Structure 1
């Protein structure tokens, strides 16, 4: 019969604090072999030490307590391994994100940020196939990729040729409240028939300032910041949704370094204002009294 250990000795044997052992007991993860009904004093068996060691290592891997409980109570080895493999996969994804953020931060610290070039562009009204939903900003990239795939498949089924780069229109709330409306669209030749989430849509005409972001979307905020600085310093910004145009994106290549995204910020109708200024100047010259 396994020997009994008081909670203090069991804490020493497993390197789990008494506070932690009490929490594990309360959550049902690691219950003591015996609890004195009068004093509440907990005792454990030496046979529980391996289980405590396993729990400690899972916690070192940031596995939540409910998942550890599921692993320990799995009905068979395959089910247990599937749970562990799933968690390791999430850890690998988290590590990849961390490495990407570290690389981006090093670039900011080690390399001077080169000034991007900006372009003013008048965008004409366009008939497109679109998907519109309200979503959380953290889900935006995965939602975008899924929506683009659905749009391409729908246009292929309806035999409507794609006539330009895919684009997105994002409400201000999506950035300011981290929750808002997003529209992903593909311009096409002909009118798309409603199918699933895909609807016909007209992208309105607008005038924008544009900057091109090269690479993955992990550090696209740098391009947004540069563009916001530009339109603000030049007193050009107007209220309206931001647009993105995916000149080269995940649908064209999995190589993120090759991605090219145009970010379009709505601005005053500067071209129209220039024409008005030109007409006013011409009128002044025509009405100016001759010497």
Structure 2
């Protein structure tokens, strides 16, 4: 389900994003159109994404997601409608890759967080997912890959 986690040191990465604060149960309704909007603006401006789509969760509660959805870019973009410049942080982070459908992400995060705790790391603040391979790669969801990143002390 998840690869053996590793500790990495990330670098601050400019991004083009839409910031959303939504009820948790609206994620499947909101995410697709937001991705299309970001990619439309990036494409129209001739910007080449530097990596895969991601969701950067600033805060999470049982009822609300406060997050950015977007793509890494080479340099900060000018705001365009809801698409704004942002960044992924420079951080010491635990990282793994989950293999499977998006419906299994909650369980994957649970196993990943257990590894973080079992290995003596303390999570700090935010987290992000990078959608390395998803529905655009085919219908076999067992081949989908989502990178999970959890900053730690």
Q: Same fold (TM over 0.5)?
A: yes
Residue segments in structure 1 that go unaligned for 5+ positions in a row: 1-113, 269-291
Q: Determine whether 1:216 maps to 2:106.
A: no
- Per the alignment, residue 23 of structure 2 pairs with 136
Q: Does the C-alpha gap of structure 1 residues 186 and 228 become closer, same or farther in structure 2, counting only changes over 3 Å? A: same
What secondary structure is seen at the aligned counterpart in 2 of 1:171?
strand
CA contact (8 A) 1:158 1:192 kept: no
Match of 2:137 among 229, 249, 253: 253
2: distance between equivalents of 1:215 and 1:115?
A: 9
What secondary structure is seen at the aligned counterpart in 1 of 2:65?
strand
Q: Does the C-alpha gap of structure 1 residues 217 and 142 become closer, same or farther in structure 2, counting only changes over 3 Å? A: same
Q: Does the C-alpha gap of structure 1 residues 218 and 180 become closer, same or farther in structure 2, counting only changes over 3 Å? A: closer
Q: How many residues end up aligned between the 2 structures?
A: 152
Cα RMSD of the aligned pairs, angstroms, is 1.8
Q: With CA pairs under 8 Å and 6+ residues apart, which has the higher RCO, 1 or 2? A: 2
1: distance between equivalents of 2:2 and 2:96?
A: 11
2: distance between equivalents of 1:115 and 1:168?
A: 18
1: distance between equivalents of 2:148 and 2:103?
A: 14
- Per the alignment, residue 58 of structure 2 pairs with 171
1: distance between equivalents of 2:65 and 2:103?
A: 20
Q: TM-score, normalized by length of structure 1? A: 0.49
Work out which of the two has the higher radius of gyration on C-alpha atoms and give 1 or 2: 1
Match of 2:44 among 152, 157, 167: 157
Deviation at 1:134, TM superposition (A): 0.6
Deviation at 1:202, TM superposition (A): 2.2
Higher strand share: 2
CA contact (8 A) 1:210 1:264 kept: yes
Alignment map for 1:68-217 (pairs within 5 Å) = 116-172=3-59, 174=60, 176-217=61-102
Deviation at 1:152, TM superposition (A): 1.0
What secondary structure is seen at the aligned counterpart in 1 of 2:42?
helix
- Per the alignment, residue 150 of structure 2 pairs with 265
- Per the alignment, residue 242 of structure 1 pairs with 127
Deviation at 1:239, TM superposition (A): 2.3
Residue segments in structure 2 that go unaligned for 5+ positions in a row: none
Higher helix share: 1
Q: TM-score, normalized by length of structure 2? A: 0.89
1: distance between equivalents of 2:79 and 2:92?
A: 29
CA contact (8 A) 2:2 2:98 kept: no
Deviation at 1:254, TM superposition (A): 4.6
